[in-house]
Amino acid sequence: MAKKTTTKKQKSIEESLWDSANKLRGSVEPSEYKHVVLGLIFLKFASDKFEARKTELIAEGKEKYIEMKEFYNMKNVFFLPPLARWSYIIQNAKQDDIALKIDTALHTIEKNNPSLKGALPDNYFSRLQLDISKLAALLDTINNIDTQKDKSQDIVGRVYEYFLSKFAIAEGKGKGEFYTPKSIVNLIAEMIEPYEGIIYDPACGSGGMFVQSIKFIESHHGDKRNISIYGQEYTNTTYKLAKMNLAIRGISGNLGEKAANTFADDQHKDLKADYIMANPPFNQKDWRADNELIDDPRWMGYEVPPTSNANYGWILNMASKLSENGVAGFLLSNGALSGSGDEYKIRKKIIDNGLVEAIVILPQNMFYTTNISVTLWILNKNKTEHTRMIGDISRHYRNRKDEILFMDLREIGVPFEKKYIQFSLDQIDTIAETYHNWQQNDNDYKDEPEYCYSAYLDEVKKKDYSLMPSQYIEFVNRDENINFDDKMKTLKEEFTGLLIEEQQSKHELLKVFKELGFEIEL
């Protein structure tokens, strides 16, 4: 009997490069090493673009201009002085001072290109004292990336994005906050459709929301020049990652003059955005002092968000930044759906004012930093009847001002990286289609047990303004045991989330039990 042959799945260029680069990490922490690798990827990309433009100038008979930065900038190419070019770095890869040469190259590029101000790693290579042989091997690995080979495939963008996700996984729980999993960002983009106008992210991390917005525009044959990008990031190293991420993809964006706290130092005070996409930090404690930001205009006459948790601070910050027709899609922990005190008062008002359009519960284990289930909120300043064009698609929206769509996606998703869950492209399309059918009052939309339900505001008021989807979406009572299991599963997820958040009162815990049908005392 002939031996059965099996074909081994060939690794992608991203996987091969990651495997090679990760083997060279040694004792350097992923949180530090990511800046080394991503800085080199950027340097290789910028050099390849520079050399391609230089060759173009020579072919045009303009040799005398090849060292003039203006002839590169006019084509949106970064100008690189001789000692900052990849060819020079590779020639000196095995020299004892190669780390210093790389730091100098990155500093020189930033100095010669104002749009890169504050974007590139600063003295990482010299400070980390990387083993020279490992650094030389890493340079050889990065040298294998031909960033100009197939511009339609965005090779360097793919590699950069893949490395961001892998570093987020490597950093693990409690770290890696700079990265929102791609399938979640993709879902937000497909639901709120940021096609043209101003996009804002008040906690932009490494810039993934912006990248996916541009991809959405391109997939619908739009023009990315019709989009303006604004963002803010608190952590300086992550701010640099975001600026590099945008630069690699040729995306212009205003991320503020510096890395700064969105609440304490708003870099875009007068901004009115057409779209907001965000994944702010969950359950920030002590985000302001008791006597700070009391009269901040972003609270818009609502109650001042409590100092114990920033969730409603983020909600009001984003609501205040929306234009007249603005839409926001952002992530929060599930605790924000039923908080008491001033959070309750704020939630009540934004619901009464018709701002909340959809509440979507996501599966557990989607994030690399926490295993709790979280919520996608969609706020919409224009829930009245109107028509909108997205490329060749015309959408006619009905007046949904007095309704909220609830969706439960906890049983949707596919395995990813062994212990994580992500949405497939087909699942994202189905979820977004459900949402858009509901917006348009399409006959294809119907409430579906264990998946979606359109609630009138009167129903929400009767449930004391709770936004927990489990209060509205029907669960099928196949028999008593299954119904009990459903309740216990929901209870476990809600209770686990509250325990992890470590900031819910006894009253709130009891309320969750009661809403799920359990009358108990603690």
Residue 441, CA distances (Å) to 445, 453, 457 in order: 7, 13, 17
State how far the Cα of 269 lies from the Cα of 256, in Å rounded to an integer.
11
What is the C-alpha separation between 422 and 181, in angstroms, rounded?
Answer: 8
Domains 13-170 and 180-469 share a fold: no
- CB atoms inside a 10 Å sphere around CB 511: 16
pLDDT of 13: 79
CATH topology (fold) of 180-469: Rossmann fold (3.40.50)
Q: Tell me the torsion sign for CA atoms 361, 365, 368, 370.
A: positive
What pLDDT does 500 receive? 47
Structure-token pair, residue 207: 């810039």
For β-strands 420-422 and 414-416, DSSP reports them as antiparallel
CA 225 to chain centre: 21
Q: Which long-range contacts (CB under 8 A, 24 or more apart) does 107-116 make?
A: 108/80, 108/81, 108/83, 108/84, 109/43, 109/46, 109/78, 109/80, 109/84, 112/69, 112/78, 112/79, 112/80, 112/81, 112/84, 113/73, 113/78, 113/79, 115/247, 115/252, 116/78, 116/243, 116/247
Query: How many angstroms separate the CA atoms of 462 and 104, rounded?
Result: 64
Q: Distance (Å, rounded) from C-alpha 307 to C-alpha 341?
A: 12
What is the pLDDT, as a whole number, of residue 368? 80
Tell me the C-alpha distance between 162 and 156, whole Å.
10
Q: What is the pLDDT of residue 253?
A: 94
d(CA 330, CA 191): 11
Q: What is the DSSP letter of 29?
A: -
Query: Pairing between strand 403-408 and 273-278?
Result: unpaired
CA distances from 155 to 207, 251, 392, 468 (A): 18, 16, 28, 41
403-408 and 356-361 strand pairing: parallel
Residues 150/28, Cβ–Cβ less than 8 Å: no
Rounded to whole angstroms, the Cα distance separating 366 from 371 reads 7
- Contact status, residue 397 vs residue 507, Cβ threshold 8 Å: no
CB 47 within 8 A of CB 88: no
How many angstroms separate the CA atoms of 498 and 345, rounded? 20
Residue 273 has what pLDDT? 98
pLDDT at 26: 83
Nearest-angstrom CA–CA distance, 364 and 30:
24
> Which pairs from 362-366 meet CB under 8 Å and 24+ separation?
362/184, 362/331, 362/409, 362/410, 363/409, 363/410, 363/411, 363/412, 363/413, 363/421, 364/410, 364/421, 364/493, 365/419, 365/420, 365/421, 366/181, 366/183, 366/184, 366/413, 366/420, 366/421, 366/422
DSSP state of 370: -
Edge-to-edge, what's the strand order for the sheet holding 227-231? Answer: 227-231, 197-201, 273-278, 322-333, 374-380, 356-361, 403-408, 452-456
The domain limits of the chain are 13-170, 180-469
Instruction: State which residues of the chain have pLDDT below 50.
Output: 1, 3-6, 478-482, 500-504, 522
- Displacement of CA 481 from its chain's centroid (Å): 39
CB within 8 Å of 392: residues ≥ 6 apart? 220, 221
Say how many C-beta atoms besides its own lie within 10 A of residue 51's C-beta: 16
Q: Can you read off the two tokens belonging to residue 450?
A: 């264990």
User: Which CATH code is given to the segment(s) 13-170?
Assistant: 1.20.1260.30
Tell me the sheet residues that pair with 227: 197
Tokens 């060292």, located at residue: 67
> Which residues, including other chains, have CB under 8 Å from residue 88's CB and lie 6 or more apart?
82, 101, 105
Could you tell me the pTM of the whole model?
0.86
Residue 98 tokens read as 């190669």
